[in-house]
Structure 1
């Protein structure tokens, strides 16, 4: 019975963390607006991703705080909200930008 309570608590914690992540993303994330994040979503999606980012995505990425975005590269929550971290890390190169050295 105790393990069931722990499982439920863990599941609730994951749902809460994902909801909080989505709420932060709805406002802005690392100086990227919701519109910028939405523009990049097709090429970082876990399902049938686009090969190349749109011009709107690259424009948003050029305004973003790349070191801040790098801090999310190992997040286990990103796949739960449909984002492939490996594809996200490829965005600067696809937008002809240099990735941060510490990324």
Structure 2
């Protein structure tokens, strides 16, 4: 893959993330689906990834996470989307291990 293709791919992904974040902030996003996790799954995990007092993930959270695309979730660890949803990226990246799931390499 050429460097130009990599840059275009990253810019495209960033534009999508910014658009989703803006919709969420503007209240135009009625439901959230993130990397094969529906709104119910995201909300089940939110207490575990929200500061200041995160809790251990619930069985519902771990079940939702087990069906999620973990590689896709890793792509968001440095994005603005997770913080815009009130999710701490470091706590989110620790969830797979807390749910006894194997995170993707280099995540």
The TM-score with structure 2 as length reference comes to 0.71
Q: Which structure 1 residue ranges, 5 or more long, are not aligned?
A: 1-14
Number of equivalenced pairs: 87
| RMSD (Å) for aligned C-alpha atoms | 2.2
Larger Rg: 1
Instruction: Render the CA deviation track for 1:9-68: whole Å, top value 9, x for unaligned.
Output: xxxxxx9652335738x2421100100000000000023211x10000000000000000
**Runs of at least 4 residues off by over 2 Å:** 15-24, 76-81
Note if contact 2:35-2:73 (Cα within 8 Å) is conserved in structure 1.
yes
In 2, the alpha carbon distance for the partners of 1:84 and 1:53 equals 14
2 CA distance for matches of 1:39 and 1:63?
13
What is the TM-score normalised by the length of structure 1?
Answer: 0.73
Matched, 1:30 2:35: yes
